[in-house]
Amino acid sequence: MGQTITEKIFSEHVGKKVYAGEIVRSPIDMVIGNDITTPISIKAFEESGAKELANPDGFSIVLDHFIPAKDIASANQARISRDFAKKHKLKNFFDEKDMGIEHALLPEKGLVVVGDVIIGADSHTCTHGALGAFATGMGSTDLAFAMITGGNWFKVPESIKVNLSGKPGKCTTGKDIILEIIRMIGVDGALYKTLEFTGSTIEHLTMDDRFSMCNMAIEAGAKSGIVAYDAITKEFLTDKELAREPKIHYSDADATYCMELNIEVDKLDPVIAYPFLPSNGHSVVQAVADKIKVDQAFIGSCTNGRLADLAVAAEILKDKKVHEDVRLIVTPGTQKILREATKLGYIDIIVDAGGVVSNPTCGACLGGYMGILGDGEVAISTTNRNFVGRMGSRSSKVYLASSAVAAASAITGYITDPR
């Protein structure tokens, strides 16, 4: 009986063949915490009486939500992680000195590897599935259990095979593809399942596209998203000192899937998710016809804060100006991305156009800081959620889109087709 890539990853980790629906105790290659969730895990770890981490090299803390601290509470919260990292001589601790959004930073550092089992106390941990790994979000106490034992319990998820065909058109990206999938199946259409992205389109998608797709698998209710290792993955990893040897798996031709989706990507327009669900998707053509005025354009987050996002923004903004009624905020995913974008001239173009560039942070995405929306304001955003009050006031509205759409809309003041 054939296996999916997800079933093979778990089989390799537990030492026997396993299939969807089985409950397994699996070792974990990388446990990820951040400044919001890790203090709860640390408290549980210490209350358990544990003295040492089971796998210190397989534990990372990334301070990325409210760093630099936005207030006294966030400063005190960060100190808990700093003190713990110092006490345990944690090698993989990332603060202001080498900062980044966790789901952009760890792949950059080579700390998440092909074939890994990865958990994080952040729902968008599924981003790392773009590297052919099983990656999923869990709770802070689940994180503590993994810190103490080096593993955790999992129900091996069923897989949905997403067949993507055709070469993407101009300004159609991984973000548009995942928004279309969520539009098709809804925010719970993949509940506790893996979205396995396959098909001829994959060879045309950059790693940045793949990270975006896997990142938002959770917005369809999925446990994880995954793309099999290929030449593009190999190229991405070439210059990285990997924490472990990759373990490459591919789904068998006779593997069992609980559902199959087929999308002709070459026919797909850029997609806009209207408030107040990521599943409320519409073509950019419809959005243009609806004449949606925006107050803020945001480019960043763990979904779309990578170099390709800054590149397309700079291409669209070059020799143009942000509309007088619009605030354009750009948040690079990591310091390395910021430095590369600076060398390539992207940052100068964005600033010359009237945009503001912030430090790497999750702040704006969750309505924490660095881009909060006021009463009745409207944002076009490259983030991943547009629930009521997600980026600020409960009367504000967030439209989800790609970086190309966000940049084009910043210039006109209305949601705009960038093609």
Q: Same domain, yes or no, for 88 and 157?
A: yes
Number of domains in the chain: 2
Q: Note whether 177 and 295 are same-domain residues.
A: no
pLDDT string in tens for the chain (419-residue length): 899 999 999 999 999 999 999 999 999 999 999 999 999 999 999 999 999 999 999 999 999 999 999 999 999 999 999 999 999 999 999 998 889 999 999 999 999 999 999 999 999 999 999 999 999 999 999 999 999 999 999 999 999 999 999 999 999 999 999 999 999 999 999 999 999 999 999 999 999 999 999 999 999 999 999 999 999 999 999 999 999 999 999 999 999 999 999 999 999 999 999 999 999 999 999 999 999 999 999 999 999 999 999 999 999 999 999 999 999 999 999 999 999 999 999 999 999 999 999 999 999 999 999 999 999 999 999 999 999 999 999 999 999 999 999 999 999 999 999 99
Interatomic CA distance for residues 192 and 213, integer angstroms: 17
Is residue 76 assigned to a domain? yes
**349 with 252, same domain?**
no
Task: Supply 354's token pair.
Answer: 């009237």
pTM: 0.95
Are the beta carbons of 119 and 34 closer than 8 angstroms? no
User: How long, in residues, is the chain?
Assistant: 419
Say whether both 218 and 363 belong to one domain.
no
Residue 76 DSSP class = H
User: Is the domain of 355 the same as that of 252?
Assistant: no
Residue 419 lies in a domain: no
232 belongs to a structural domain: yes
The three-class DSSP label of residue 108 is helix
In-domain check, residue 418: no
Are 292 and 394 in contact, with CB atoms under 8 Å apart? no
Per-residue DSSP letter, 215: H
Q: Which of 235, 263, 291 is the last residue of a domain?
A: 263
Phi then psi for residue 268, to 5 deg, are: -90, 125
Same domain? For 253 and 313 the reply is no
CATH assignment at residue 255: 3.30.499.10
In Å, what is the CA distance from 10 to each residue of 143, 282, 354?
18, 37, 49
Which phi and psi angles does 7 have, rounded to 5°? Answer: -60, -35
The domain boundary residue, chosen from 208, 233, 263: 263
The backbone torsions φ and ψ at residue 197, rounded to the nearest 5 degrees and listed phi first, read -90, 120
53/385 Cα distance (integer angstroms): 33
| 287 token code pair | 């959005």
SS3 209: helix
- For 14, residues 6+ apart whose C-beta sits below 8 A from its C-beta are 24, 25, 26
Residues 217, 83: one domain? Answer: yes
Q: What is the residue whose two structure tokens read 């069992």?
A: 256
What is the per-residue pLDDT for 97?
Answer: 86
Domain around 237: 5-263
Residues 243 and 378 in one domain: no
119 domain residue, yes or no: yes
Distance of CA 179 to the CA centre of its chain: 13
Residues 382 and 292 in one domain: yes
Phi, then psi, of 290 in degrees rounded to 5 = -80, -10
Whether residue 183 contacts residue 217, with contact meaning beta carbons closer than 8 Å, is answered with no
Considering the domain architecture, whether residues 251 and 275 belong to the same structural domain is answered as no
Per-residue pLDDT at 17: 97
Q: What is the pLDDT of residue 98?
A: 87
| The pLDDT value given to residue 361 | 95
Q: Return the number of other C-beta atoms located less than 10 Å from residue 411's C-beta.
A: 20
What angle (nearest 5°) sits at the alpha carbon of residue 186, between those of residues 185 and 192? Answer: 85
Note whether 244 and 379 are same-domain residues: no
417 in a structural domain: no
**Model pLDDT, residue 15:** 97
CB 346 within 8 A of CB 306: no
| Listed residues 263, 280, 312: the one ending a domain | 263
- Answer yes or no: is 26 within a domain: yes
Domain assignment present for residue 13? The answer is yes
Q: How far apart are CA 281 and CA 399, in angstroms?
A: 9
Are 391 and 372 in contact by the 8 Å Cβ rule? The answer is yes
Kindly state whether residues 257 and 275 are assigned to the same domain.
Answer: no
What is the identity of the amino acid at 51? K
In 10 A of CB 97, how many CB atoms?
7
